[in-house]
Chain A
Amino acid sequence: MSWRAKKNLEREARMLDRYDSCREAMKMEISNKWFDGFVRALYIARKDARVYYFKAPNFTYGLLMPASLFLAFSLAGQMNVALVVSGLPALAIMFGTMSIEAVAIVLEKQTGTFERLLTAPVSFFSLLLGKAISGFLFGLTIGALTFIPIALITGTHVANPVLVLIAVAYSSMVFSALGVLVSAFANWVPEAQMLSNLLRFPMTFLAGTFIPFETMPPQLLIVARLLPLTYCVEAFRIAVTDSTAIVTYVIDIFVLALFSFILLMMASKILQRKLG
């Protein structure tokens, strides 16, 4: 090999080394960026949990409304134990999480504290992720607070507790994301509550919570399949009564994850557009 060819090879090797180290540095920066974003999201979630979420009235509201509805339907003789055990936690998660999530963000927008988050070195997605995480934790808590006593009181044999836990987690995630989306449209707290109710009440009666899917007319079944609560209730029902329908359960969980992602992305786009 000539001296010139050797030199050329050495130079190329050095360039490749430099390219590799550059790529490594870029990879490091990207992974650091994601890690940093996630850590800041956790700080936001912790602050939200302390300031807004974990206060008695929020739990009361999340539990009272679904409990009253179930009581009314039970007195009318239209409920069985399986419907209550699978439906009540799903409804409590929806009512509690959506309410507090939407109200907390709108309240922050009103008081100006949202500005503090917007001007901090945190990406907009991390900011919303932080908000969604606090809602998710609230949903987990209210889900557990509802499911465990109901299962104990009714003496229900839970087919698969792990599947129940996963259902609680994904339900919390989807309604937290829906709460964030509601907050993107609302400027005032009453507006957020009104928008939340517009979504919650139709879902309550169309998602198989009180009326089993088997007895629903086909047209309503189509509508039900467009609602996230349907997949929560179905996942709960499988986890509680029939853990052999694992394929349906996995599809439910996948749809809930997809809903969560789409709702959060929509909320991010709309909020960013509204903020200018």
Chain B
Amino acid sequence: MEIIEVIDLAKRYSGFVALERVNLEVAEGEIFGLLGPNGAGKTTMIRILTGQAKPSAGRVRIAGLDIAHDIVKVKRHIGYVPEVSNLYDEMSAWDNLIFASELYGVPRSEREKRAKELLELVGLLDRRNDKVSTFSKGMKRRLTIVAALIHKPDLLILDEPTSGLDVQSALTIRNFIKELNKDATVFMTTHYIEEADQLCRRIAIIQNGRIIAVDRPEALKSSMMEQQVIEVSFSPSGALEDKLACLANVIRVSKGGDKFRLYVEDASKVFPLLIDFASESDLRILSLNTLKPSLEDAFVKITGISPNVMASEKELGKRSADVG
């Protein structure tokens, strides 16, 4: 059964189309990822799903309820975790959870028990009386997540859950999301392609307000199978992209670290050309491998956007928001 059904959804702001004829279904129990660059419509989508914005056209049903008619009831089924902590910094962790339980109508007799369980779950029980303003970013994120779980929601909506976290905290949150998925459906947005690949059962790629692909990560990767990827590293290494792109059968070249990735139609035809190229250019081949296409490759093929560009856009957006 579908927990989210989005039918012909559109959202227009004055003179700007944020979402256009979006159709989406999320089944109960899955982790569903919405992947896309800045300004693609991810935030608008989340704002509509969580009742913060109204659609200009189309319908959205959550847990069988139409958000246009039953938004208050719909919100009882949702736990929402925004990208930036929306906890009250001036209040303690405990008071934040109790306030959340009051807002969500958790029975008085269960509030304290539930708050204690959740704080224990994220290892913050001993800090329960400390003000949230004294917490690290990772601690705040964990507390924001459990604040969204206080009413035991069927659907957990996470906006960029690991954005801005250090590697260890991000890993903790990812494992936590997997745990949470045992009891709730997870709908998440992310700009980390690797994260979507690891966590999500299905992924939708959104660009310019339109969903341009929805499938399992493996299925998206297999759409790349008509291309093969060769990874090669030379000594000395330098700016060789343009020269490599001129080789026969090479479709595209990208560079990551000291390695070049060549997207080719037939790897066996390119190997001898690479060896010739190395000897003619007086280069030594340090490594030469064929790779399976990654979700990143599929994303680039579908959207035409480099993941590096997406990440830097995100950082730029965050920095300008911080400045603002």
Contacts and interface: CB of A to CB of B under 8 A. Distances in A.
Interface of A: 33, 36, 40, 43-44, 47, 50-51, 111-113, 115-123, 275-276
A119 B78 contact: yes
The interface residues of chain A, by DSSP majority, are classed as helix
Interface string B76-88: 1010101011111
Contact of B103 (A43, A111, A115): A43
B90 A51 contact: yes
B99 A47 contact: yes
Nearest to B11: A276
Given A120-B100, A122-B103, 11 more contacts: A36-B105, A47-B99, A51-B90, A120-B75, A120-B103, A121-B72, A121-B73, A122-B75, A275-B52, A276-B53, A276-B54
Contacts of A120: 75, 100, 103-104
Nearest to B76: A121
21 contacts: A33-B72, A40-B105, A43-B99, A51-B88, A51-B90, A115-B52, A115-B86, A116-B86, A118-B50, A118-B51, A119-B51, A119-B52, A119-B78, A120-B103, A121-B72, A121-B73, A121-B75, A121-B76, A121-B103, A276-B11, A276-B52
Given A36-B105, A118-B52, A121-B75, A112 B82 contact: yes
B318 interface: no
B52 A121 contact: no
Contacts of A119: 50-52, 75, 78, 80
B47 interface: yes
Contacts, number: 65
A116 B82 CA distance: 9
B54 A40 contact: no
A276 B47 contact: yes
Interface in B182-216: none
Given A112-B86, A115-B86, A40 B103 contact: yes
A117 B285 CA distance: 59
The 4 nearest A-B residue pairs measured at CB = A276-B53, A121-B75, A120-B103, A43-B102
Given A123-B72, A275-B52, A40 B102 contact: yes
Contacts of A116: 86-87, 100, 103
Contacts of A118: 50-52
B72 A122 contact: yes
A56 to B, nearest CB: 15
A119 B100 CA distance: 11
Contacts of B87: 113, 116
Nearest to B83: A112
B91 interface: yes
A119 B90 CA distance: 20
Contact of A47 (B11, B50, B86, B88): B88
A112 B84 CA distance: 8
Contacts of A50: 91
Nearest to B157: A119
Contacts of A112: 82, 84-86
Contacts of B47: 276
B22 to A, nearest CB: 16
A40 B106 CA distance: 11
A65 B22 CA distance: 54
Interface in B26-77: 47, 50-54, 72-73, 75-76
Interface in B234-251: none
A176 B73 CA distance: 29
